Structure 1
Amino acid sequence: MEELIQVSFENERPTVSARDLHEALEIRTRFVDWFPRMCEYGFCEGTDFNLLKNEKVQVEGKRLINRELLDYQMTIDMAKQICMLQRTTKGKLYRQYFLDLEKAWNTPEQVMARALQIANETRDQLSIQCRQLGLQVLEQQKQIKIMEPKASYADIVLLSDSLVLVTQIAGDYGVSPQVMNKKLHELGIQHKVRNQWILYSKYKDKGLAKSTTFAKKRPDGTILTRIQTEWTQAGRMFIYEKLKEQGIFPIVERR
């Protein structure tokens, strides 16, 4: 079928420009007067037509001026009825053109083609959404991996209820007991009294550490008794939180 006027198929229903139809029908009345008069036959905006704003570049004097040009996208049914109202040869010609267009648009083949197009578009949209969800899942998995070491260290601490030496805690961070004790002293947690590290008074009654006595046999057979500080699991977690504030993490939490 030869195209007499440009038809837009971008929406669910094909449409034509009111200005294009006004020109094709060779209407002598100005468009701005003619279109409102056509609307008086009961056509409704949003159902039969929609406002369309275009820009037209025109020469005024020696300047190029952009002017807003009002137009309307009309349904084929509205265009067909307007053609009939004109009662002209052109009107009859274009009305028949729109009737043929409607028949072609509503053939089973065209209906099926549009259904397949909608299905393909829906599939593509779902594919995009799935990819986006996949990326979100990957990002969440990354975050989980980042968080897992923290949970793992906490689990290690919670699994044990025994006292631990600073040597064991230092080992969690890959440093020597001397380095760990010095760091805890710098943080104002403990100080040294007669070769034993003692918690400062504000931490003493928190259940963080206990003093235990151990005996060591000398080479000459005599027994040497000493007191040492051992940390509870609560104390171990306390140290973890304090060091974390300094940006210091146990080995299991490092990348």
Structure 2
Amino acid sequence: MDQLIKILNYADGQAVSGRDLHDFLGVREQYPQWFTRMVDYGFAENVDFISLPEKSVKPHGGRPQVDHALTLDMAKEIAMIQRTDKGKQARQYFIQVQKSYQQQVSLPQTPDEKIHLLLENSDQVNRQVKQIDTRVTKLEDNQPIAPGEYSYISTRVKRAVNSYIGIHHLVLNQKQRAMLYKDINRGINEVTGIKTRTQLRKKDFDVADEFITNWVPSTATLQILKRLSGIAQGQTELV
């Protein structure tokens, strides 16, 4: 099997250099920043990877650069996270390396042992895929909403307030309009569990959008508006 990425052999198994993997994947981000971001997917030091002694990677000396030895399982997950052709190629390569290593360590003799090994590997891969999907989903859900989505929410809020004013034929001054905006924004914050709209995350977008669609001012806001507007008994009601 062609060695796409150098495999490191240790007493307790095989590993791969983090920098070698970074270079093979063609990641433009600097290695230290990239590796820190990868670790945030849930990997643990001394479990999934170890730090290697710092050494210069330049032939004539230079600033020492840290490297890491990654388990093949961690390397496979990182390759999958990239979602690129290079990542897919690396993942398939690590799978083949693991299979070859397992065959050397404990080669199954009977048909039952072979079937068990195949099922065990398949189950392990499926669990890893589910774990990665869960990690990726959580990270995506907690990403801030895009500028376009933020603008969309702002426009929807403005339209909802103007629509309510128009439907009920209200004549409001700037202070009274501000009360309606405060009411709808307070409601968005409550249903999404945030303090300011800038804290909206991807997972909050649909919740906020649905709230705006169904929004009506609270009873307290309506009563204050009536008082400020001096609406007399028998005049146009706000509700």
Pairwise TM-score range, normalised by the shorter structure: 0.3 to 0.5
Question: Greater share of strand residues, 1 or 2?
Answer: 1
Question: Greater share of helix residues, 1 or 2?
Answer: 2
TM superposition score normalised by structure 1: 0.40
Structure of greater Rg: 1
